[in-house]
Amino acid sequence: MKLSVLPLMIITLIILSCSEKRKNTHANSEKSSYFDYSRSDVQNTGGIKMIPIQTPKGTFNVYTKRMGNNPKMRVLLLHGGPGGTHEEFGNFDGYLPNEEIEYIYYDQLDSYYSDKPNDSTLWTTEHFVEEVEQVRKALNLNKDNFYLLGQSWGGILAMEYALKYQDNLKGLIISNMMASAPAYARYANEILGPQMDPKVFKEIKDMEAKEDYKNPRYNELLMNHYYTQHILRMPLEKWPKSANLLFEHLNPNIYIFMQGHSEFGMTGNASLKDWDVSGRLKEIKVPTLVIGAKYDTMDPKYMEWMSSEVQRGRSVTTNGSHFSQFDDPKTYFNGLIKFIKDVDSEEFK
């Protein structure tokens, strides 16, 4: 009897081994559909879709690129500037695919890969809201899957879009932007400026008073004493390539027209100088995440307040700066991913 036990054990082990191999083979055959573009119209373009935009000045094409495939969680990314590029979201590739969240790069009209009519009559929040709406329709985004994320100027655009078209949204993310341009200017001039070396701040303000913005010294002072503290909190030589590409490819014409020359708020003849929707935030009823940062160019306390003004808000404050996706990615992406998934699972509170 004892001799028969050993062959029986060997047979049992062989059966279990074969069963485990079958399980592993089956598991490997169940591939995720996240990168499956086979049933989409962008398979042959690698996710890129040039979308025609109807405007009073004609039809122009804007660049979009879809990353991933998730019919329930689709995030359209609105870059800053105005006149910035989708490159400011370059490191989203390192975080969202692992969560199988679909996201869409997008260059607004007059930015980088999109057409550049260079017509200032189109540089209005009203135009860009309608542009986003046309992009939404072309990409088949709707209230069951459409998350809109806007950073900096993109946050202004996201708020304006939500105030007009929030019934199309599943979730709204306002990243690193206040709801008032005058409040932003006050924070920059009364809080952040005086924190700088007084001699440096005075030299910057003196050049601004003379409108000496093309002076190389002006840019040098900003980059070394302001940008590395409040835009991207790293030494310039350590800035990630995608952040540098954003500045290389930024369209200065639209930026100056809407934002102005100064980094201490929107000044001069900037068209956004008096923009303010702080009194209308209470009209936003869709789930909303407001991301701010401790060292941001924007007031983090004000952005926390914004999340309490909307009807269904949540706030995340990173330990980074204006581009906290780069200088505090852990807090930024943990907060962003949790929000998207909580809304999707109807667990958002």
Q: Report, as residue numbers or ranges, the catalytic residues.
A: 152, 296, 322
Spell out a b/e string for 132-141, using b for 16 or more CB atoms within 10 Å of the CB, else e: bbebbeebeb
The Cα 311–Cα 160 span in angstroms is: 16
> Residue 232 has which token pair?
């991207």
Q: Which token pair is 269?
A: 């003849």
| Residue 211 region by backbone torsions, left for phi larger than 0, else alpha for psi between -120 and 50, else beta | left
CA 169 to chain centre: 16
What residues have CB less than 8 Å from 335, skipping those under 6 apart? 289, 291, 316, 318
CB of 292 closer than 8 Å to CB of 323: no
Question: Under DSSP, is residue 340 helix (H, G, I), strand (E, B) or coil?
Answer: helix
Q: Which two tokens stand for residue 219?
A: 């840019």
Phi, psi of 174 (to 5 degrees): -105, 115
Distance CA 49, CA 107 (A): 11
What contacts 24+ positions apart, CB below 8 Å, involve 210-213? Answer: 211/261, 213/261
- 161's tokens: 């879009």
Q: Is 129 helix (H, G, I), strand (E, B) or coil?
A: helix
* Alpha carbon distances (Å) from 252 to 209, 246, 249: 20, 12, 9
Contact 151/79 with Cβ under 8 angstroms?
Answer: yes
